[in-house]
Each structure stands twice: as C-alpha cells, then as structure tokens.
C-alpha cells in the first residue's frame, strides 16, 4: 500500500498550492453574492470557509467527498457496509451543492453528518482538518481538490479514490495538467474506476487504477414519508402512472408525445414529470407538487417540481423514462428507479452511465428508446414486468462489488492505525 507521506509535489502542484493563498481575497464576497442569489445554502455557506463546522463525532472518523446530489446519494450503500463491519465508525460526508445537502439530510445513514467542503485555500483546509481530523479520506468519482489532497498526505492521513469516472473529453482536459494529476493520484492508496475506459485514462495519467464498478447499484432505497405515499396512492387509485425523471426539455418533449398517444387507449393514464432542475421554466401546464396540488382524474400530467422526492415518484409509477438520455446531458442514474421496481426506459445518449446502461440492457433489464412510439410499445408490453425482475438480479450482482470494496477500505484504515 502507498504511504500518504510519500506524495510527490512537483512544480505544477507547488505552483497550484502557491496560488491557493489568493483564494481568501475573493472567497467571501463571491460566496456572499451567490448566497443572495440562492446559489449557496442560506445558513451554511460559511462552511466553505472552514467556519461554523458541526461537532466532530467521537472515535474513528471516515470522511467521504462527492461533489453533487447523485454522487452523494451513491455513498449510502458503501457507508452502510462500512458501518455494519465496524459499528464504532462515524462518517463525515462533504459535497459542494446546496441540493445535495438538502436531499442527503433526508437519506443520511446512521452515524453520518454532512458538511460543505471548504474552498481549497490553506487557512480553510487547516481549520477543517484540525477540527475533524479524519482517519481515512475517500474521494468519489472525479472531484479532487489538490490542496486538500496535499495537506492530508502531509498529515499522514490515508486517501483512496473510488468509483472514478472519466470520459474522453475529461481525459483531454486532465492531460493539460498531467503532472499535477500524477502527483495527486500518487497520494492514493487505492484507485478504482467504474469502467475500463476510465481505468485506462487514469493509468495514462500515472495512476494505478483498477476497475471496481459503480457505487450507485449498492445504494439503499430512497427514503420517503410513508403516510404521504399511502395518501397519494389512494388518490391516484387505479390510474396507470409513469414518469420521465430526472427530466430535461428534450426528455419532456418525447414523453409528452408518447403520453398523448397512450391516452388515446387509456384516457386515465398519468405522466409524472420530475424535472432535474425544479426551479427552471418548463413550459408545462398542470398541477404542481410544489404548490401542494394533486392531479384531478382529467389531468394528464403532474409536475413534481420539488427536490428530494424521487423516492416518492419511483414508488408511484410502473415505469420510468430516465432523463438526460435524449440530449448532451448524456444520461442520469438508472439504479434508483431500478431499486424501486420501476421498468427502466432510456434514450440513446447515455455516455455518462454507458457501463451501467449496457449492463442493464445486456440483461434485458432496461428498454432502449428512440421514438415516442417505442415508449408506448414499452409501456404496453407484456414483457415490462420481466425487465423489472431482470434489473433486480443485476442490482444484486453489482452490489457485491461494493462489499469487496468496503473490506479493502477497512484494511487501509486498519493498516494506517497500526503504523
């Protein structure tokens, strides 16, 4: 295993570290303006300055960082496995977006707290690390902060990077700072990639990466208000309900076209539109969840323009068209819907989750879609339920990789404690 103290600090990293001393000159004014525009958490934005931090839990602490909502939610399965194996552990999860904090609060595992990651300035990093003093740091997917990586290494705190994801465009961007990333990756004891292409890219940048799969299939079901679920189910009665989620403009357009066709034979069918960005204009009329409105029997569409309720949406529907798969968004996570027994449909553009969708499609556990006619055929197919059963089997197999990863991470923790 790599020793954290062995991290190389070449010219590129030293130059970066020197530049981070300038961050405090602009950090507070920028964060203040962002907070006033609703871009930062109204009460917790000062955490990004290393201030107003939550109390540190007693005992050994594992820190996990993921940048946004989907990545943060994917941590839950890994945390649960680590916690079961070592009940004395506590967990600190950091992220960067306000939405990730809001939704994670509703789904946080036991013995887990959330904070916003401080900006990568020396004083902010020091306050954060002095306060939390983690015993192990786990970086997830692709968000690495070079200054923090360097400071952790200097303190002898082991670091791992898991579930890394890097497409060709991101690889080209990383190549422009190859020497910087070589040093950063050199500080990692373990690096696992979601797919072989990412592993090859990381290896070309000087890492010892291996394919370990995604964390997302192992994440537990999204939490919900059970009373609300029962209320809505009773209200919708025997209607056929499906969803497009998390939806963007292109996804909504094809879903609406398909739904218009579906209602010619099933006038009571209901489409739930769950936009990826609930506060963005959609150009869709109909009852809105944010206003507390419920659909009438004659309403063809219900707009779920709220954050943190995908667990409710997926439990209400029989099938889900996963959004971002008809545009340059290149797909969203299909596993949350699969875990809640939804038949999975997706468009042709899935580059961000290429391995995940390929795995589901190869197992006849997801339905590729090109046109609105394809959606109607999938929704009315007698084979729709079979795809749900197939997805459950894929989930079980994919989750086993996270069991193995958890054991390896605990070995890193124990080796560090034994030094």
Q: What is the mean pLDDT of the chain?
A: 95
Percentage helix, strand, coil, to 5, in the chain? 50, 15, 35
pLDDT (mean) for 276-299: 93
pLDDT (mean) for 229-247: 97
pLDDT over 90 (residue 7): no
pLDDT over 80 (residue 296): yes
Most confident among 4-13, 129-138, 205-214 (mean pLDDT): 129-138
Query: Mind giving me the DSSP string for 275-328?
Result: ESSTTS-----S-BGGGT----TT-SEEE---SS-HHHHHHH-SEEEETTSSST
Q: What is the pLDDT at residue 398?
A: 86
Q: 115 has which bridge partners?
A: 94
Please list the residue range(s) of the chain that carry CATH number 3.40.50.11720: 4-218+403-417
Residue pLDDT, tens place only, 29-58: 999 999 999 899 999 999 999 999 999 999
* CA pair distance 374, 360, nearest whole angstrom: 18
Residue pLDDT, tens place only, 143-180: 899 999 999 999 999 999 999 999 898 999 999 999 99
> How sure is the predictor about 417, in pLDDT bands with cuts at 50, 70 and 90?
confident
Please list the residue range(s) of the chain that carry CATH number 3.40.50.2000: 226-381
pLDDT over 60 (residue 97): yes
User: Residue 314: CB partners within 8 Å, gap ≥ 6?
Assistant: 222, 243, 245, 320, 336, 337, 340, 342
Distances (CA, A) of 276 to 9, 38, 40, 331, 362: 40, 17, 18, 11, 27
Q: What is the pLDDT at residue 211?
A: 95
> How sure is the predictor about 416, in pLDDT bands with cuts at 50, 70 and 90?
confident
Nearest in space to 342 (alpha carbons), one of 364, 370, 365, 325: 365
pLDDT over 70 (residue 266): yes
pLDDT over 80 (residue 3): no
Residue pLDDT, tens place only, 187-226: 999 999 999 999 999 999 999 999 999 999 999 999 999 9
Q: What is the pLDDT at residue 5?
A: 56
Nearest in space to 106 (alpha carbons), one of 292, 373, 256, 306: 306
pLDDT over 70 (residue 395): yes
Return the sign of the alpha-carbon dihedral for residues 369, 372, 374, 380: positive
> How sure is the predictor about 418, in pLDDT bands with cuts at 50, 70 and 90?
low
Residue pLDDT, tens place only, 311-327: 999 999 999 999 999 99
pLDDT (mean) for 379-406: 94
pLDDT over 60 (residue 124): yes
* CA pair distance 273, 302, nearest whole angstrom: 6
Q: What is the pLDDT at residue 142?
A: 84
pLDDT (mean) for 254-263: 98
Distances (CA, A) of 191 to 188, 208, 238, 263, 305: 7, 7, 48, 49, 37
pLDDT over 70 (residue 298): yes
pLDDT over 90 (residue 183): yes
Indicate yes or no: pTM above 0.85: yes
Q: Name the architecture of domain 226-381.
A: 3-Layer(aba) Sandwich (3.40)
* Fold that domain 4-218+403-417 belongs to in CATH: Rossmann fold (3.40.50)
pLDDT (mean) for 225-251: 96
Torsion of CA 106, 63, 49, 187, to 10 degrees: -140
How big is the CA angle at 132 (ends 64 and 92), to the nearest 5 degrees?
30
């Amino acid at each position: 295993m790599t020793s954290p103290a062995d991290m190389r600090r070449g010219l590129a990293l030293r130059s970066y570290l020197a530049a981070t001393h300038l961050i405090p000159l602009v950090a507070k004014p920028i964060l203040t303006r962002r907070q006033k525009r609703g871009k930062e958490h109204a009460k917790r934005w000062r955490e990004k300055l290393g201030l107003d931090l939550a109390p540190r839990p007693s005992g050994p602490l594992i820190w996990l960082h993921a940048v946004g909502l989907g990545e943060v939610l994917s941590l839950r399965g890994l945390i649960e496995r680590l916690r079961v194996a070592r009940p004395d552990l506590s967990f600190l999860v950091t992220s960067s977006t306000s939405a990730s904090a809001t939704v994670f609060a509703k789904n946080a595992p036991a013995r887990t707290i959330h904070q916003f990651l401080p900006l990568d300035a020396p004083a902010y990093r020091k306050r954060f690390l002095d306060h939390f003093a983690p015993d192990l740091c786990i970086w997830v997917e692709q968000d690495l902060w070079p200054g923090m990586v360097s400071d952790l290494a200097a303190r002898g705190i082991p670091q791992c990077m898991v579930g890394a994801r890097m497409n060709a465009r991101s690889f080209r961007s990383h190549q422009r700072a190859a020497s910087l990333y070589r040093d950063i990756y050199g500080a990692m004891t373990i690096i696992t990639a979601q797919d072989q292409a990412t592993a090859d890219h990381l290896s070309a940048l000087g890492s010892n990466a291996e394919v370990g799969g995604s964390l997302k299939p192992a994440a537990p079901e999204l939490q919900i208000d059970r009373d609300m679920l029962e209320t809505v189910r009773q209200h919708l009665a025997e209607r056929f309900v499906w969803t497009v989620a998390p939806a963007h403009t292109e996804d909504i357009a094809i879903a609406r076209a398909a739904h218009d066709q579906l209602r010619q034979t099933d006038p009571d069918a209901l489409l739930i539109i769950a936009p990826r960005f609930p506060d963005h204009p959609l150009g869709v009329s109909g009852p809105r969840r944010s206003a507390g409105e419920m659909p009438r029997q004659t309403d063809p569409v219900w707009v779920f323009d709220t954050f943190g309720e995908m667990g409710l949406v997926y439990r209400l529907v029989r099938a889900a068209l996963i959004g971002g798969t008809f545009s340059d968004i290149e797909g969203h996570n299909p596993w949350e819907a699969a875990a809640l027994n939804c038949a999975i449909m997706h468009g042709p553009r899935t580059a961000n989750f290429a391995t995940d969708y390929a795995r589901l499609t190869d197992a006849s556990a997801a339905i590729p879609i090109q046109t609105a006619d394809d959606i109607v055929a999938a929704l009315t197919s007698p084979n729709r339920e079979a795809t749900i059963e197939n997805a459950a089997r894929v989930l079980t197999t994919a989750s086993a990789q996270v069991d193995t990863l958890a054991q390896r991470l605990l070995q890193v923790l124990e080796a560090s404690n034994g030094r």
